[in-house]
Amino acid sequence: MILIELPFDRSIGDRAKLTLQKTVKLEAPYLIFNGDIDDESYSKTGRGIVDWCPDRVAGQMRLPGGTIDIGVPELSLAQAVEKGVRSFIIGITPIGGQLPVHWFPVVMEAIEAGIDIVSGLHSRLVDIPEFAVAAKRSGSRLIDIRVPPAGIPVGTGKKRSGKRVLMVGTDCAVGKKYSALALTRTLSGLGVKATFRATGQTGIMIAGTGIAVDAVVVDFISGAAEMLSPDNDNDHWDVIEGQGSLFNPGYAAVSLGLMHGSQADALVICHEATLTQILGWPDYSIPSLSECMEANLRMALLTNPDVRIAGLSINTSKLPVDERAQYLADLSREMELPCSDPMVDGSQVIAENIRDTF
């Protein structure tokens, strides 16, 4: 089962080939490392990988004291080597975003076994001299997902071939990654050529490639977004993971740069049904859905005058179970657009709308 197409498959043109070399490319199979963590809430990265690309995962590993179990085979490092594991993925985001020192020895062992180390933490693997020296010796790559590739150009604004749908939202953390992954899967199931394009760390680990756009210098953010979804077949859709929100006072620039570089033909508005305040900015209210739609359309017009909204992807999990379907039906009638919860049916109506009317 291929859930996520790697972007090398369908890219066309020299420009695409040139730019894609600059993005990171992770080697499967993965060993997901869960450390000695016993709190499930830190294991989202590892779980996301197992949920969305189980065929890239060989197994998991934990240290004494750890209780996280993401439902794949438990492997020692020796067993992982035997199974041909190519990447040791830090599946945990500890508080503070630092790699705990007592995890160093096992990471070092993996480096010495020639396995790539992949981390989305704020502290960088390459800044630990012992790792750098050992990796040079063994040929292991130290891959800091949050470090963008070198040489990202300024966005050109030039029209590219192929089609693009971008997730935008009323806030950060409203399900943009999940919506993009579900939509990619559903489009593929409908026979539509579609590639998930990752813009954040977990997304990159799932797709095996991508750029953490929020870590790019602001002058180059739309250029990074252009690299992420290069020229492609005319009937191919890039399904682009969104970041931030135009309504978030800290991160709106991330959203706008990603939007301008994406040149989206279609936008999917992502929202969590019960949200009222911007998470972490208590003075800021969540915009109404029509306000969100209007602002995003307006700004997206700059680089694609034909942009339209393909649907609303709503996380309804915090609504009472018996109200969810009615909420979506009412919203769909009010907005005159397909509305669905991606966790319920994988955004079926939005995928059909994209297939039939774009």
Contact positions vs a copy of itself (CB under 8 A): 154-159, 213-219, 221-223, 246-247, 249-254, 256-257, 260, 281, 283-284, 295, 298-299, 302-303
Q: Considering beta carbons, is residue 52 or 247 the nearer one to a copy of itself?
A: 247
Q: Considering beta carbons, is residue 108 or 295 the nearer one to a copy of itself?
A: 295
| Sheet hosting strand 194-197, strand order edge to edge | 194-197, 237-240, 163-169, 266-272, 308-315, 339-340
- DSSP for 266-307? EEEEEEETT--B-TT-TTSBPPPHHHHHHHHHHHHTTT-TT-
How buried is residue 357: exposed, middle or buried, by Cβ count under 10 Å (0-12/13-18/19+)?
exposed
Asked if 300 and 259 touch (Cβ cutoff 8 Å), the reply is: yes
- DSSP for 164-197? EEEEEESSSSSSHHHHHHHHHHHHHHTT--EEEE
Min. distance of Cβ 295 from a copy of itself in angstroms?
A: 8
Q: Considering beta carbons, is residue 21 or 156 the nearer one to a copy of itself?
A: 156
Q: Considering beta carbons, is residue 134 or 258 the nearer one to a copy of itself?
A: 258
Min. distance of Cβ 283 from a copy of itself in angstroms?
A: 6
Asked if 32 and 59 touch (Cβ cutoff 8 Å), the reply is: yes
Q: Considering beta carbons, is residue 23 or 255 the nearer one to a copy of itself?
A: 255
Min. distance of Cβ 95 from a copy of itself in angstroms?
A: 17
Closest by Cα among 205, 239, 212, 228 to 54: 205
Min. distance of Cβ 306 from a copy of itself in angstroms?
A: 14
Min. distance of Cβ 282 from a copy of itself in angstroms?
A: 10
